Amino acid sequence: MTAMIEIRGVRHAYQTADGPLQVLDGLELTVDEGGFVAVVGPSGCGKSTLTRLIAGLMKPDAGEMLLHGRPVQGPRSTVGMAFQNPVLLEWRTILQNVMLPLEIVPAKTPRRQQEERARYLLSLVGLDGFEDKRPSELSGGMRQRASLCRALVHQPEVLILDEPFGALDAFTREDLWQTMHRVKENEPFTGVLITHDLRESIFLANQVVVLSGRPARTQYVLDVPATGPRDLEHLYTAEASEMLTVLRHQIEVAQGRAPAEDTATPAPPPGSAAQGMQ
């Protein structure tokens, strides 16, 4: 398959009062076009830094960041982003908030088609009928749905999701997982999800990447078997349980709480093609 995102030997450090803080150290990652990758790892290991580098909001100190084989030199209009905080503008309606990216980077399509696109996305995530509401009139989950629509309205090649469901209650979060699946089935983007929720990672992604502790490298990669449209019952299967056990162990390794060569670690589930990268 064609690679959409290629990260080659990326290193990045932040300057602090105590000197450089190395966050990423020789990170390697490839995401195929149309793929959906979840990135997990210990808190503070550089997951959000990685998203900013992919989006071109920061430049790495060393290494290469490529999108469709082209170096990332700065912010790209072909990248959409959604965050834990929806950051909707209260003085704009939901429809106007969704269409905001098309005002910042003018689209070539007529205004009518832009609005049709925005309304289609709102309908896709279950917000038809709320186009003229203000953000304060919507629940947290509904605002997050609108934020997702805004990230997709300009038809990006890459969608970056930085813990977009982390602040929501469990029921709303699981509902949005299913919404996200529906969106992915209808929109041709390559997805990168940052999350602390291992269940979320195997439900949404076709590949889970575990980062080591800081400075982060790619520690482990788990391929999630394609099982067709997923529902929440999938998370209670033996296959899902085995994948979660593998990932929990890898997180403990990354935190320094378990040895990497633990022979008690269960084998990846059949067909998962999990592979260590240590």
Residue-range domains of the chain with CATH: 3-78+156-276 (3.40.50.300)
Render pLDDT for 215-258 as a digit per residue (tens, 0 to 9).
999 999 999 987 666 788 889 889 999 999 999 999 999 988 77
What's the whole-number mean pLDDT along residues 155-174? 90
Strand 190-194 vs strand 207-211: parallel, antiparallel, or unpaired? unpaired
**Whole-number average pLDDT of the chain:** 88
How much is the pTM?
A: 0.88
Q: How far apart are CA 218 and CA 8, in angstroms?
A: 11
Asked whether the beta carbons of 14 and 22 are under 8 A apart, the reply is no
For residue 5, the model assigns a pLDDT of 95
More confident residue, 258 or 71: 71
For residue 269, the model assigns a pLDDT of 46
Residue 153 has pLDDT above 50, yes or no: yes
Highest mean pLDDT, choosing among 38-47, 121-130, 256-265: 121-130
Strand 158-162 vs strand 190-194: parallel, antiparallel, or unpaired? parallel
Structure tokens at 235: 């998370």
For residue 261, the model assigns a pLDDT of 62
Asked whether the beta carbons of 211 and 47 are under 8 A apart, the reply is yes
For residue 228, the model assigns a pLDDT of 64
Q: How far apart are CA 2 and CA 5, in angstroms?
A: 9
What's the whole-number mean pLDDT along residues 174-194? 92
Asked whether the beta carbons of 35 and 44 are under 8 A apart, the reply is no
